[in-house]
Structure 1
């Protein structure tokens, strides 16, 4: 923890340093990771870092640079904005790049569009939203215990009273699948007022909020009084929350405060056969197949989610190309969680057997002797041979692990498996 914190502090400086300089950083970092899990000195550092749940220096650099990408895109500093626009406009690279231009290059490498969202001029504070601007009458009923017919009846009663005062109803909805995100704004009878597609990484929360924002723009362009119905209770609660100052929510709150007598929001439960809500849901889903406008709408959290997903995919791709015994016991490169009620020595034995480097098979690397030979099988003695082909170890494994394979046991570091592995080591008289 101490070494990694110091490395993180200077990572923006050494991130583009030559490999010879990075060696001075890697040595103490790798040594600290090796000692933290009591690994054998000759164990591959890739295995050690995966077992310890730590990133490589290169992975850590990519992760922290990605965090800076988010900060730059959503920066509200005019000086930084000017530098960003200059770096984007200059197509030819300078001999000595600025830190901002290097981060923009990293963003392009990760296939991130470095396009800043439009800034929102906020002129109304959150407390200017009147209590009756957001109608949450139907939210008082528990959806699990309220039937569709009851919800329809309640909505009909509320809408009838409001229509008498001249209010018109507009419905919004967002839709998200594995490969598509979209939104729609419709009238009560299902006429599509606005429909669009959003970036794949956009969350359903952003899609629902973006639909409300477009509905507000439509109402402001037309005469009359409008109630915008949404089935996203999380978005409406965010609008009601004065501590939520994200650009998208603040923009919605700003427009409501501008025209309190013309615009109201209302929560309507989804999928309970309220006609307007069902029509909006169909329209949002139809955007997956129909040619619609693409809107570049995303929030800071959406961008973080996409970056984390890209980084995880990149790490998994790199790990899939790695060939070693350790990959059989940790195919997904996930850090194991060891029980705390066992002696350290037993856990160390289990870890070293997972890593595939033990004194019996790799002591010769330190003593500079010849590679050990299995006397019974007359072949090179390594961890794969011991666990898979050795005539001596096979009957011992059958008696200790029963029907389970040794690799399945090593994948799951619970107390029982650790005890069985130590029993196997003692019986076979392996030196770890």
Structure 2
């Protein structure tokens, strides 16, 4: 096309050496950073108001969440929860698997410490391996760990809650893997059944 129409590109000096340009730049910067003009013809646009509302809402949500995080249980804080208004992937888990995940996160479940705290009677406080039932025992149980090489994303032996949480977070990216792990292991039905 350039050969047919003889188009050439040249440099244009722009605003160089134009009288008043420096003053215009200074005034534009002052207007952009200074307070808003309150004259009726200078009121903000709908788009501008939306931006301000969005910023204030985000600020309020962030501050609220920072205050609320301090009241979370120590076990839940280990998950480093973030305030998110989007639906989390774990809500796609089958109800029974979601129950296990939430019980791990909150510590409210068939665990020795939970039963003792609420003085529940006649509950089985130990797993068939002999260890006390606790939220992350699934990942530390010597019997359940015999099949660890079959687990999705086969992890190394887990000794700490932090290792278990890291592993679960990896699995949650593909909820079917966490579902497979919980259901195929038969941990909660055969190895460490409720009560």
1:411 equivalenced with 2:176 (yes/no): no
Contact 1:371-1:380 within 8 A present in 2 as well: no
Residues 125, 133 of structure 2: 8 Å contact kept: yes
Q: Distance in 2 between matches of 1:409 and 1:420?
A: 14
Which residue in the other structure is 2:126 paired with? Answer: 374
Alpha carbons of structure 1 residues 375 and 389: separation in structure 2 relative to 1, 3 Å:
same
| Residue 250 (structure 1) aligns with | 41
Q: Helix, strand or coil: the match of 2:182?
A: helix
Q: Aligned residue for 1:185?
A: 27
Alpha carbons 2:129, 2:141 under 8 Å: kept: yes
Gap change, CA 1:375 and 1:426, over 3 Å in 2: closer
Structure 2 unmatched ranges of 5 or more: 1-8, 157-162
Q: 1:301 to 1:356 in 2, by over 3 A?
A: same
- The alpha-carbon deviation at position 369 of structure 1 amounts to 0.8
2:168 partner SS: helix
**Alignment partner, residue 292 of structure 1:** none
Distance in 2 (CA, whole Å) between partners of 1:250 and 1:397 is 69
Q: Deviations over 1:210-241 (max 9, x none)?
A: 48x78xxxxxxxxxxxxxxxxxxxxxxxxxxx
C-alpha distance in structure 2 between counterparts of 1:154 and 1:315, whole Å: 52
Q: Compared with structure 1, are the counterparts of its residues 322 and 398 closer, same or farther at alpha carbon in structure 2 (3 Å cutoff)?
A: farther
Name the CA shift for 1:398/1:351 in 2 (closer, same or farther; >3 Å): farther
Aligned to 2:181: 421
What do residues 321-340 of structure 1 show as CA deviations (whole Å, max 9, x unaligned)?
A: 63432333353354622475
Query: What are the Cα deviations for residues 375-404 of structure 1, in whole angstroms up to 9, with x where unaligned?
Result: 6665542214x1465433443445414127
Could you tell me whether the CA contact under 8 Å between 1:210 and 1:248 is conserved in 2?
A: no
Q: Flag structure 1 segments of 5+ consecutive residues without an equivalent.
A: 1-146, 173-183, 187-193, 196-206, 215-246, 254-298
Seen in structure 2, the aligned counterparts of structure 1 residues 396 and 367 have a Cα distance that, compared at 3 Å, is: farther
TM-score (norm 1): 0.29
Q: Does 1:155 align with 2:14?
A: yes
* Corresponding position of 1:357: 108
CA distance in structure 1 between the partners assigned to 2:43 and 2:105 by the alignment:
54
Provide the rounded CA distance (Å) in 1 between the counterparts of 2:181 and 2:88: 16
Q: Which has the higher strand share?
A: 1
Give me the TM-score of the superposition, normalised by structure 2.
0.53
Measured against aligned partners, the alpha-carbon deviations of 1:75-131 in whole angstroms (never above 9, x if no partner) come to xxxxxxxxxxxxxxxxxxxxxxxxxxxxxxxxxxxxxxxxxxxxxxxxxxxxxxxxx
Q: Residue 313 of structure 1 aligns with which residue?
A: 63
